[in-house]
Amino acid sequence: MNASSFLNFDAWSRIGGLLWNASLETLYMVFVSSAVCIVVGVPLGVILLVTSKGYFWYSPRFYNVLAAVVNALRSVPFIILMVAIIPLTKLIVGTSIGTTAAIVPLTIGTIPFIGRLVETSLRTVPHGLIEAAQSMGASPWQIVRRVLIPEAMPELIQNFTITIIVIIGFSAMAGTIGGGGLGDLAIRYGYMRFRADVMISTVVILIAMVQIVQWIGDYLTRMCDHR
Amino acid sequence: MIKLSHIVKTYNPNTPQEVKALRDISLQINKGEIFGVIGLSGAGKSTLIRIINMLERPTSGQVEVNGQDLTNMSDNELRAARRHIGMIFQNFNLLSSATVRDNVAFPLQLARTQSKAEIDKRVTELLAMVELSDKADMYPAQLSGGQKQRVGIARALASNPEVLLCDEATSALDPKTTSSILALLTSLRRKLNLTIVIITHQMEVIKECCDRVAVIDNGMITELGSATEIFIDPKQALTKRLVSATVRRGLPELLRHTKVVSEYHEGAKAIIELLFLGPKADAPVIVDVAKECAVSISILSGSIDHIQNDPFGIIAVEIDGSRAEIERAIAAFKQRVHKVEVLGYDERKQLSEL
């Protein structure tokens, strides 16, 4: 990198185009994966909670099996998981290369993570509240829907924020196996072509994304926390 | 109204962690009554109150509330039955994420039998009843303990229950707030013809509002009677201990360093405890007896208190005179007050003579 490359508007507009497209790809991956993760992860967390000891559908065998699967998936390093599930990715998306294909490992890698976080968040709801709801004739579903989730909302939002930030990180990794996005750009241009300006730009964009997600998360947490 | 028959509750049966929380409890609580259950922590009282609305299922025995046998109900029937049994808690257990209004509306929303307008109207009514109309849009975190418990009461009464269960409902409150909550419960009982069951370890609570009391120890009812009986004439050691926490009985503090013996000897003074109760409590008994018998009476300690609205007093006096006159005075007291107990004999000198 030298001074002239920084002042070269032509080069910058080309890089700008690359960065813009890569950012959109990253946002697409992160958005879709986060949405799927939350949609699947919340019920997973709820099931983990209500089948654990002291809750209304306590079933040690079911809980232990589910918890073991969740733990196993969580222990596989993401980069290995990504490669290992290529056949599954092909089955679902039709290809194992590209942004949409990257969503499959991102989702599968993160669901156990968010499931556990949801379980822990819901566990912070005092048992007395469940008991109070039961004394008013609430059904298990009503307890989940109207007591556990609203009461744990601040923790849930904090944990969703953490999850989205983890997905942003993972999405950069997905770039290394042809997933596209900022990680892909950073590797191909920044690393392989020694383009420090590209490398720095991708890192700056990623930092900005993480910051914005954290700000939004913190704001929403404050909004729904009345304790 | 509530009938418990041979309730047994064992946790972790047939394991090393087995705990016998309740051992064969039978109890009948009448309609419109405020019934207190008192015991030390771990005595089984929390389990007992949770058996009444089946938050805990008994290991064996039968629970009947308002003529319905709760023990053999399906989950669905039980949920419906619980709507007729309100419950309030030591920690209030309000939803922190919902406003006061939404907390009170909660049981009605769960029941899904009323329209939103009907629920709103009922909630407004309930908040007025517990004097919290101005706090409707606040969150529980913004309220004091007493206000939170009022929200708890409004919520528990939302679906017009016949029974209200209070699980240590005043244990987290200061004495003044406790009194105001108990006064509210007493007035609601009359207004709504409620049957109230109060679990507590505070004898004050029993004294202020209970009609009848069961003392529970180690999973068994050791004493049962009207609040007055329990206070005036406790039989079991535990009951005596509990009662002594609020009503000082026995030898007065003044005699701490005095030798007191149980048998009369020449020249001794008698120390007796007089128990006044009800309408007789304000009669000029001591003066009358002193006039009638050739004795001098000094008051060592005394207190006049109320059980619910009945005045009762406990006064310890020292009687000086000849043996015959002392005995005559004791007999005269026995005719006039509820109970006379001879605490002992001493040869104490009057403080003024020293």
pLDDT digit string (tens) for chain A, length 227 residues: 455 555 566 777 788 888 999 999 999 999 999 999 999 999 999 999 999 998 989 999 999 999 999 999 999 998 898 889 999 999 998 888 888 999 999 999 999 999 999 999 999 999 999 999 999 999 999 999 999 999 999 999 999 999 999 999 999 888 777 778 888 888 888 888 888 888 899 999 999 999 999 999 999 999 999 98
Question: Residue A138: its chain B contacts at CB < 8 A?
Answer: 79, 110
> Is residue A132 assigned to a domain?
yes
- Distance of alpha carbon B162 from alpha carbon B1, whole angstroms: 9
Closest chain B C-alpha to A53 CA, distance in angstroms: 13
Residues of A in contact with B164 (CB under 8 A): none
Q: Domain for residue A217, yes or no?
A: yes
Strand-pairing partners, residue B274, are B315, B340
Count: domains in chain A: 1
* Nearest CA distance, B109 vs chain A (angstrom): 10
Q: Rounded to an integer, what distance in angstroms lies between the CA atom of residue A189 and that of residue A198?
A: 6
Reduce the DSSP state of residue B306 to 3 states and report it: strand
Q: Check if A226 contacts B (Cβ < 8 Å).
A: yes
Strands B220-226 and B269-277: unpaired
Residue A6's alpha-carbon distances to A12, A46, A197, in angstroms, are: 7, 52, 8
Instruction: Give me the count of residues in chain B.
Output: 354
Q: Angle at CA B129, nearest 5°, toward B127 and B134?
A: 40
How far, in Å, CA of B4 to CA of B144, rounded? 36
Residues B93, A146: C-beta atoms closer than 8 Å? no
Q: Which amino acid is at A102?
A: A
Distance CA B41, CA B238 (A): 13
Q: How far apart are the first and last CA of chain B?
A: 62
How many Å apart are CA A27 and CA A168, to the nearest integer?
8
Using the CB atoms, write b or e for B115-124: b if 16+ within 10 Å. Answer: eeeebeebbe
Chain A residues whose CB is inside 8 A of the B91 CB are 126, 128
Task: Name the residue in chain B with its Cα closest to that of A56.
Answer: B55
Give the SS3 label for residue B41.
coil
Nearest to A151 among B87, B91, B97 (CB): B97
Task: Answer yes or no: is A5 within a domain.
Answer: no
Q: How far is B87 from chain A (nearest CA, A)?
A: 7
Q: Is the residue at A94 inside a domain?
A: yes
Interface test with A, best of B54, B65, B68, B95 (most A CBs within 10 A): B95
3-class DSSP state of B271: strand
Q: Which domain holds residue A72?
A: 10-224
CB contact under 8 A, B82 and A136: yes
Residue A65 is encoded by which pair of tokens?
A: 């099996």
pLDDT of residue B241: 87
Q: What is the pLDDT of residue A1?
A: 46
At residue B148, what are phi and psi to the nearest 5 degrees?
Answer: -60, -40
pLDDT in tens, B161-218: 999 999 999 999 999 999 999 999 999 999 999 999 999 999 889 988 999 999 999 9
Express as a percent the part of chain B with pLDDT over 70. Answer: 97
CATH number of the domain residue A220 falls in:
1.10.3720.10
Residues (pLDDT < 70) of chain B are 280-282, 350-354
**CA B89, CA A196: separation in Å to the nearest integer?**
63
Cβ-defined contact of A129 to B106 (cutoff 8 Å): no
Q: Does residue A3 sit within a domain?
A: no
Asked whether residue A45 is assigned to any structural domain, the reply reads: yes
pLDDT at position A208: 96
The alpha carbon of residue A63 is apart from the nearest alpha carbon of chain B, in Å, by 20
How far apart are alpha carbons B149 and B167 in whole angstroms?
Answer: 12
Contacts of residue B116, defined as CB under 8 A and 6 or more positions apart, other chains included, come to: none
On whether residue A204 sits in a domain, the answer given is yes
Distance in angstroms between the alpha carbons of the first and the last residue of chain A: 52
In chain B, the domains with their CATH numbers are 2-246 (3.40.50.300), 253-353 (3.30.70.260)
b/e sequence A148-159, b meaning 16+ C-beta within 10 Å: bbbbbbbbbbbb
Closest CA to B43 of B137, B136, B161, B168: B168
B131: left (phi over 0), alpha (psi -120 to 50) or beta: left
CA distance B141 to chain A (A): 5
Tokens 């490669």 correspond to A83
Q: What CA–CA distance (Å, rounded) separates A183 from A176?
A: 7
As a whole number of angstroms, the distance between CA A111 and CA A45 comes to 10
CB contact under 8 A, A151 and B96: yes
